[in-house]
Structure 1
Amino acid sequence: MVNGALQVCGFVVTVIGWIMAVITCALPVWRKNDLEGEVIEAIMRTTGLWVQCTYQATGHWTCNDYDSFFLGLPVPLQGARAMTCLAIALGFIGIILSTLGLNCTTVGADNPRMKARLVVISGVLHLVSGVAVGIAVSWFAANVLNDYNNPLTSSTGGVRYVYGDALFVGWVGMVILVLGGALMCCSSWSVDDDEDDRRTAYAYNPPKPKHSGAEYI
């Protein structure tokens, strides 16, 4: 049986998670330089998926695009771009499908089974979207941690980076997307079984003709 309240709750949660995925992709602070480890602490450098920014203590800041769009970039950056874009695309498709499949909408109201299937498909898409966001931020974070613990970075006086705000937004968005996708799947998953049970219960069984044992001559 379809749970309309659970559908709406899952829809709202997935929309919030999708917005957080978009914010994660757009934020230029996937990593930032460790100011405590630098002599000049007035300059903050941040790195995002699309731009690199420098913030001065005077309030001025500049952001520059990468020299290459995809090829030639570090593998973690390429992977993070691909996974976040995939997550946003899947989440957008999931929102469209869930809008059509919600029990409170009039689209396809004469076919509740199809609407329920659209909600379940939408939930699965949001689950995959959440996993994709989690892979993107976790892969990028692992690379930041590896570079931070690299002794060559500190010995050569290079810039050491720590986690940026975008990573934490991405992790929260991952949890929200997975939760919302699970809610949407649970709200409509059993509709097919319920309808099959009804068909079995109300199936028409015609009476079988009785054969008489008497012989006619």
Structure 2
Amino acid sequence: MDPILEVVALCLGFVSWVMVGVAIPNRYWRVSSLDGTVITTSTLYENLWMSCATDSTGVHNCREFPSLLALSGYIQASRALMIASIVFGTFGLVATLIGMQCSKAGGENYVLKGRIAGTGGAFFLLQGLCTMVSVSWYAFNITQEFFNPLYPGQKYEIGEGLYIGWASGTLAICGGACLMFSCKFGTKEKIGYPYQPTRGTVYSVSASKRDAQSAQSTYGKNAYV
């Protein structure tokens, strides 16, 4: 495996893991504005955990969702996928740190370290897939409600939390792909000669050749006449 590619993949995975941690508590997963006079203008925004409102004076109030079972199915699924993304990212970071060639944690068995690094790449891929599915599913419901003329409730738009999630998923997939492809290329070993004599054998053969050459030079053909 290429050590530089391992470091790049680790950096991408770490940044994506941090961005997932930023996206989960972000309040602006979907945003809507109620326009009126200057006093009554307010902004509504929600995430996976609570719903908030801010008026023109800067006062904001937040209310957590009262019941898990009363929530929509896509919100529950998005919660589960984002939590799974954090777990997969943690496993991916640990496995990548152990499997890197510059790390001393896995010993000197580079074949085993390469497999561990490949496992870390698989965890990063799972992290990216969970994040992308979560934020994309959430965004799909936002757009579906927004463009539905018969929807009676409040219509929202996509917030910054979803963009952070998309960026995190992209980085995680890129980091996992780098580790997986580097492990695939690293398994191709060079094939050498089927038999290579040992050092002692080479020394004995070369010594016998030198003895034969010295004897031939000492006793010429005229010596046997």
TM-score, normalization: structure 1?
0.83
Give, in whole Å, the separation in 2 of the partners of 1:202 and 1:10. Answer: 35
Give, in whole Å, the separation in 2 of the partners of 1:129 and 1:108. Answer: 23
Q: What is the identity, as a one-letter code, of the residue corresponding to 1:184?
A: L
Structure 1 partner of 2:119: 121
Percent identical: 27
1:23 aligns with 2:22: yes
Q: What is the identity, as a one-letter code, of the residue corresponding to 1:105?
A: S
Structure 1 partner of 2:80: 82
Ranked by relative contact order (alpha carbons within 8 Å, sequence separation 6 or more), the top structure is 1
1:132 aligns with 2:130: yes
Q: What is the identity, as a one-letter code, of the residue corresponding to 2:27?
A: P
Give, in whole Å, the separation in 2 of the partners of 1:103 and 1:47. Answer: 44
Structure 2 partner of 1:211: none
1:148 aligns with 2:143: no
1:8 aligns with 2:7: yes
Provide Cα deviations, 1:180-205, integer angstroms capped at 9, x if missing partner.
111122233233332xx55xx36559
What is the CA-CA distance between 1:109 and the residue it aligns to? 2.7
Gap regions ≥5 residues in structure 2 = 198-225
Structure 2 partner of 1:166: 161
Provide Cα deviations, 1:148-178, integer angstroms capped at 9, x if missing partner.
112133xx5x421111111111111111111
Contact kept? 2:33, 2:42, Cα under 8 Å = no
TM-score, normalization: structure 2?
0.80
Q: What is the identity, as a one-letter code, of the residue corresponding to 2:104?
A: T
Moved more, 158-167 or 4-13: 158-167
Give, in whole Å, the separation in 2 of the partners of 1:97 and 1:67. Answer: 38
Query: Please, what is the CA RMSD of the aligned residues?
Result: 1.9
Gap regions ≥5 residues in structure 1 = 207-217
Aligned length: 195
Q: What is the identity, as a one-letter code, of the residue corresponding to 2:141?
A: N
Give, in whole Å, the separation in 2 of the partners of 1:139 and 1:82. Answer: 12
Q: Which has the larger radius of gyration?
A: 2
Give, in whole Å, the separation in 2 of the partners of 1:97 and 1:202. Answer: 35
| DSSP 3-state at the match of 1:26 | coil
Provide Cα deviations, 1:86-134, integer angstroms capped at 9, x if missing partner.
1111011100111111111111232111111111111111111111111
Match of 1:192 among 180, 183, 187: 187
What is the CA-CA distance between 1:39 and the residue it aligns to? 3.6
